[in-house]
Structure 1
Amino acid sequence: MLVGSACTPVADGSASGPPERTLTVFAAASLTDVFRTWGAQFAEQHPGTTVEFAFAGSSALAEQLAQGAPADVFASADQATMDRVVADVGVADEPVVFARNTLQIAVPPENPAGIGSLDDLAADGTTVALCAEHVPCGAASRAVLDAAGVAVDPVTWEEDVRAALTRVRLGEVDAALVYRSDVVAAGGDVHGIDIPEAAAAVNDYPIAVLADAAEPELAQAWTAFVTSPDNAKVLDDAGFLLP
């Protein structure tokens, strides 16, 4: 949770300043680092504002929204999940794609298993973490593996891409398929291996204000901030592709 400016006391003991408001943003796990940074900046630009985030697999967030979880904005890691939210929950305006992402193989820095391609993920004794296929990174992984004609039997199915990445960071698996942006976010904790088959699954990241947003004006301001051309370099530096 990121907190904006507090009210300023005046002589009679009361408080003056902008009203305190909370913006609730549901966002794909792969957006965690970029959105936290932007949340702090947004709160500074909108005194009295608190930005609260819920980060998880896009499909899990969509299910929470369908069950009535309150939120103002939804940002998904693929168009299909956004389409579900549009149908089940409703949005105030047409979703806008603000970023794209592709997969890499993430391995420990020393790459002890000597992995260099998707074929290596299917080798005997190689331990691999994949995202569950009902979440966007899992669907993308399936498309990439199918394009390569490679069958991988993972030792674990994770509910979001950050969980798969964590398995590599902790040395619990030899490799995982994750987004490029997650490899960048991990810094030197992992090494990313480009795969030509990644072109088979390029995920769009749409964002939309939800139809029942409690803070519609603030939500519109957030989506305008996220989609601003001024933030394109931030996305690029974080490993995302621009739409």
Structure 2
Amino acid sequence: MRRSFLALTALALVSGCSGNGGHEDGGGTVTVLAAASLADVFDRLAERFRAENPGVDLRISYGGSDGLAAAVTQGAPADVFAAAAEEQMAVVTGAGLASEPEIFAGNVLTIAVPEGNPAGITGLADFAREDLTLAVCAPEVPCGAAAEELLGIAGVQARPDTYEEDVRAALNKVGLGEVDAALVYATDVAARPDRVDGVEVPEADSVVNDYPVAVLDDAPNRAAARAFVELLLSDVGQQVLTEAGFRAP
């Protein structure tokens, strides 16, 4: 029920901000649905895109990849979908709504703790401690699925106190001091050095999330949508993503 509500909410938001349709000359509105973990880096890339395409009204909605994929399948009038894992893109391609997605970045998990690491977290084994308050993403979203796999590889029987709808919600719990630790993406910790500290996870390299992007087949503004995807794949786009802590595809 929660996933259905989130999907419908995303659909309503996107429908409300879609504005006028696209134009073959690359003007008009282009709507991007993107995983929450891409918020900071996509906001940076959006500035460049708008500067290079002054006739395009670029609008980006962020959320959990599963909810966004559901919104697309329910008819959200979007142009581009960027997910945090291939499984969520497969929902869209399997419904015949996009073809030929391209991998533009990779990401791994790390442990986020409040500044100063007051609970003394040292690694994944601490996620089995009952005396700590711990957060992970819900298993249906990419960061949650990756957390389950990573903890399984490490042989840790985790005892999370809260399952969050996306990685930014988990990170915010850490920043507010509501939890002792959370499993989030390395890029999320890098984006909030003033609010959280990171604890390196040696096992993280065994679980890498690939980020796919696709222009939707029924995109109202295919020309501008393709231009945004090409920015992600360009040398400039890849440099911005690498600086934000993402891995090359």
TM-score (norm 1): 0.90
Q: State how far apart, in whole Å, the 1-side matches of 2:71 and 2:134 are.
A: 29
Cα distance, 1:217–1:19 mapped onto 2, change above 3 Å: closer
Superposed CA offset, 1:88-141 (max 9, x none) = 2421x4111110000000001111110011111211311111100000000000
The corresponding residue for 2:229 is 223
The corresponding residue for 1:206 is 212
Q: State how far apart, in whole Å, the 2-side matches of 1:99 and 1:30 are.
A: 12
Q: State how far apart, in whole Å, the 1-side matches of 2:144 and 2:137 are.
A: 4
Is the Cα contact below 8 Å between 1:143 and 1:200 reproduced in 2? no
Q: Which runs of 4+ in 1 moved over 3 A?
A: none
Residue 141 (str. 1) matches residue 147 (str. 2): yes
Quick one: which amino acid aligns to residue 208 of structure 2?
Answer: V
The corresponding residue for 2:22 is none
Is the Cα contact below 8 Å between 2:33 and 2:80 reproduced in 1? yes
SS of residue paired to 2:212: strand
Q: How does 1:1-243 map to 2 (within 5 A)?
A: 21-91=28-98, 93-243=99-249
Quick one: which amino acid aligns to residue 52 of structure 1?
Answer: R
Q: State how far apart, in whole Å, the 2-side matches of 1:40 and 1:239 are.
A: 19
Q: State how far apart, in whole Å, the 1-side matches of 2:136 and 2:127 are.
A: 11
Tell me how far 1:230 sits from its aligned partner.
Answer: 2.1
Is the Cα contact below 8 Å between 1:23 and 1:219 reproduced in 2? yes
Tell me how far 1:178 sits from its aligned partner.
Answer: 0.2
Is the Cα contact below 8 Å between 2:112 and 2:189 reproduced in 1? yes
TM-score (norm 2): 0.87
Unpaired segments of 5 or more residues in structure 1? 1-17
Q: State how far apart, in whole Å, the 2-side matches of 1:208 and 1:63 are.
A: 15
Cα distance, 1:105–1:50 mapped onto 2, change above 3 Å: same
**Number of positions where the alignment pairs a residue of Structure 1 with one of Structure 2:** 225
Quick one: which amino acid aligns to residue 60 of structure 1?
Answer: G
Tell me how far 1:84 sits from its aligned partner.
Answer: 1.1
RMSD after superposition: 1.3
Quick one: which amino acid aligns to residue 42 of structure 1?
Answer: F
Q: State how far apart, in whole Å, the 1-side matches of 2:138 and 2:237 are.
A: 31
Quick one: which amino acid aligns to residue 34 of structure 2?
Answer: A
Q: State how far apart, in whole Å, the 2-side matches of 1:178 and 1:133 are.
A: 13
Larger Rg: 1
Q: State how far apart, in whole Å, the 1-side matches of 2:26 and 2:212 are.
A: 30
Quick one: which amino acid aligns to residue 154 of structure 1?
Answer: P
Quick one: which amino acid aligns to residue 31 of structure 1?
Answer: L
Once the two structures are overlaid, the 10-residue window that deviates more, 53-62 or 38-47, is 38-47
Unpaired segments of 5 or more residues in structure 2? 1-24
Is the Cα contact below 8 Å between 2:73 and 2:97 reproduced in 1? no
Q: State how far apart, in whole Å, the 1-side matches of 2:34 and 2:96 are.
A: 15
Quick one: which amino acid aligns to residue 28 of structure 2?
Answer: R
SS of residue paired to 1:188: coil
Superposed CA offset, 1:22-55 (max 9, x none) = 1100000000011111112111111221111110
Using the aligned pairs only, state the percent identity: 49
Is the Cα contact below 8 Å between 1:26 and 1:54 reproduced in 2? yes
Q: State how far apart, in whole Å, the 2-side matches of 1:108 and 1:38 are.
A: 28
Superposed CA offset, 1:141-161 (max 9, x none) = 000000011111211110000
The corresponding residue for 1:6 is none
Q: State how far apart, in whole Å, the 2-side matches of 1:59 and 1:96 are.
A: 18
Q: State how far apart, in whole Å, the 2-side matches of 1:178 and 1:19 are.
A: 36
Is the Cα contact below 8 Å between 2:137 and 2:165 reproduced in 1? yes
